[in-house]
Chains A and B, each alone.
Chain A
């Protein structure tokens, strides 16, 4: 969404630095990214499937998330979905962590 208003030069620069995010939010350090990748596979995977095809939780494949805004997904991760088993992860994840996970799930981050 924000990509449209960010100058192309900035995007090129960011990519050159190894950061593919289009948002201005700080990106978790590589070691933290490693932890988050494991968390998504293992802990999110408990309900959403390690292949993200869903289980007790809904599927989290890039195609399932494509039409949903980053902010809504970040809110779901941090605050959970009341009335469902999706818990609020705010105690364990920062906003930057959650945004990185959203990009990761959408296939925008390795």
Chain B
């Protein structure tokens, strides 16, 4: 084994010597969910650089980046945690850490990567250098049952926050000493938290509830205050529509004092005042929103939808809260990602087997890249964002 490793290192070294120098700040990964593969792309010229395969079941896969933007950590559905070198385009580490997982997060100091698991329910934490497990946190709920874990996010102070889907809890895990995670539990937060986000400043953790209308929020500056419920009964008196795809809350952002959230089971985006956390408006859209993502400058919001409206994307002008354009980039739009400063947005169209790149000012398409059943798009700039 040792000899092999030395040979591998030599090969890698000689490869480095020949390859031109390259930085990673304009790189990204596109998940090809059906093939268990990733496309390594760059956003300066909208091109594909290489393809990385052998990552297992990538349905619902997500990616976080090391603080130097050199490595991607890929969370697969089958419990696989893979470490991908963005320069060589190779898988440099991989562990099968559970039977079924849903996503993960990287710690503030970049030393820990945590994975949220469905089976067995809980969170496992790994060393980002070695992928050795350093902590195992089973999600035994207050009801005595093991719960699926969703909405795992990083927070300042080397903390991770996550929600227990089955028992309706939020757990705040402090991993300053990774071997002894200190866990604060919030119980009775509401029925079936399905996803969550941490605000850009790292202050608030918000879990969307599926089993009832509303959001459970924890102020991470003041966790003693407990969970606060916001946007309760936003759908009061209305029959919600069948939800063919769960909304995703990550990618949420505030523009000034307004924040935007996909309403579950409704053709609406909710507008929230972040000083009072009250709903101040709703924007009617073409379908049930899945992602409602703000351009980095907060001037525009792009929204994609669940079945049967998943071929459309709408662009909303934030100052007027109005839809300014509806585009159809190809059927089965699953995800979108803005370039770091927002002049372009990449959209994945699963059923068209392509990714399209759009100019966010002219709202015209500027490039199209073939991709096999593309889903998530993740650019390396996420490395420096809290909650991504």
Contact = CB atoms under 8 A, between A and B. Distances in A.
Interface residues on B, range: 20 to 34
Nearest to B56: A51
A88 B241 CA distance: 9
A56 B119 contact: no
Interface stretch (B179-187, B243-251, B358-366): B243-251
Interface in B68-116: 77-78, 99-100, 102
B351 A54 contact: no
A50 B244 contact: no
Contact of A87 (B34, B57, B100, B244): B244
Contacts of A50: 33-34, 57, 59, 77
Q: Which of A38, A55, A88, A92 has the most CB of B within 10 A?
A: A55
Given A38-B351, A41-B34, A53 B242 contact: no
Q: State the main secondary structure of chain B at its contact with A.
A: loop
B194 interface: yes
Contacts of B344: none
A42 interface: yes
Nearest to B148: A56
A38 B34 CA distance: 11
Given A51-B78, A83-B211, A46 B59 contact: yes
Given A56-B165, A85-B194, A49 B246 contact: no
A91 B308 CA distance: 10
A46 to B, nearest CB: 6
B242 A55 contact: no
A96 interface: no
B33 A54 contact: no
Contacts of A55: 59-60, 77, 100, 102, 118
Q: Which of A38, A43, A56, A80 has the most CB of B within 10 A?
A: A56
Given A38-B351, A54-B119, A87-B244, A46 B78 contact: no
A96 to B, nearest CB: 19
A56 B77 contact: no
Interface in B104-142: 118-119
A49 B194 contact: no
A92 B77 contact: no
* A-B residue pairs, 9 tightest by C-beta: A87-B242, A50-B59, A45-B59, A88-B242, A51-B57, A87-B243, A49-B77, A87-B244, A85-B210
Interface of A: 38, 41-43, 45-47, 49-51, 53-56, 80, 83, 85, 87-89, 91-92
